[in-house]
Amino acid sequence: MPTWDPTRYLQFADDRSRPFVDLVARVEGEPRTIVDLGCGPGHLTPVLQSRWPDATVHGVDSSAEMIERALASTVDDSVTYELADVATWSPSGPVDLMVSNALLQWVPDPLAVVTRLAGHVVEGGSFALQVPRNYGSPSHTLLRDIAAEPPYAEHTRDIVADRGTAPYAWLELFADLGWDVDLWETEYAHVLPGDDPVLDWVSGTGARPYLQALPDELREDFVLAYRDALREAYPRRSFGTVFPFLRTFVVARRAS
């Protein structure tokens, strides 16, 4: 797994946060115990606290850098954070709401992981998740294509491909468990400022494993080639650069 840079990740915090806000808005009920799977630097915890001020929030993330940043900004006893791999982690007790924002695409066998974790949600509780589904977009296809060329390929060939999950696989998972399921997709048209904002965006997430796999003497040339390809795919306009981003949302509620 790559290491993560909270500062770079938060460069587009408002745009990255909007899907989480949209996801949480569709969750019903008054959960008292909330687990945030893949909590990152904790910047979205206030969204949960604002919606459910009487709840406790426990954030879990496998990045030490992210957890360190989250802990540094925590002043509320109702919020805790834990360094752990969601793929093998389990809560210490029953949970009213599990929420996951742009994490499960990084997890091996995400359907199995969610099925296991759903078993810890109480009757009447909810599991809310959001995952990117833009793996066919130029931001990703160009990255993979350039990485497959020499001299980069020998350093990037072992990187695990994007783990996209078909939207209806989530519907089937929760429906088979007997849960009520609300599934939808939204394509956001992010208008980003700056000279190379798509490069900046992807460098904080999907491109990070590739960049970290390359030796120093190749990384700069790789970035320049990728930058030029992105500039052509996402031209800068007078008002900014439009970056379309498709995401899948699921809010499932366990029967009482």
Kind and range of the H or E run holding 171: helix 167-176
**How far, in Å, CA of 149 to CA of 220, rounded?**
15
pTM: 0.91
Q: What is the mean pLDDT of the chain?
A: 92
| pLDDT recorded at residue 6 | 55
- Predicted confidence band of residue 14 (pLDDT cuts 50, 70, 90): confident
| pLDDT recorded at residue 205 | 81
The superfamily in CATH containing domain 6-253 is Vaccinia Virus protein VP39 (3.40.50.150)
Q: For residues 134 and 246, is the Cβ–Cβ distance under 8 A?
A: yes
Write out pLDDT tens, residues 136-188: 999 999 999 999 999 999 999 988 766 679 999 999 999 999 999 999 999 99
Q: What is the distance, to the nearest Å, from the Cα of residue 14 to the centroid of all Cα atoms in its chain?
A: 14
Say which residue, 201 or 2, is predicted with more confidence: 201
60-68 mean pLDDT: 93
Query: If you search the block for the tokens 């120093």, which residue do you land on?
Result: 216
Mapped onto helix, strand or coil, the DSSP state of residue 7 is helix
Label residue 178 left, alpha or beta by phi (over 0 means left) and psi (-120 to 50 means alpha).
Answer: left
Q: How crowded is residue 45: how many other Cβ atoms within 10 Å of its Cβ?
A: 23
Predicted confidence (pLDDT) at residue 11 exceeds the cutoff of 80? no
34-44 mean pLDDT: 94
Q: For residues 241 and 235, is the Cβ–Cβ distance under 8 A?
A: yes
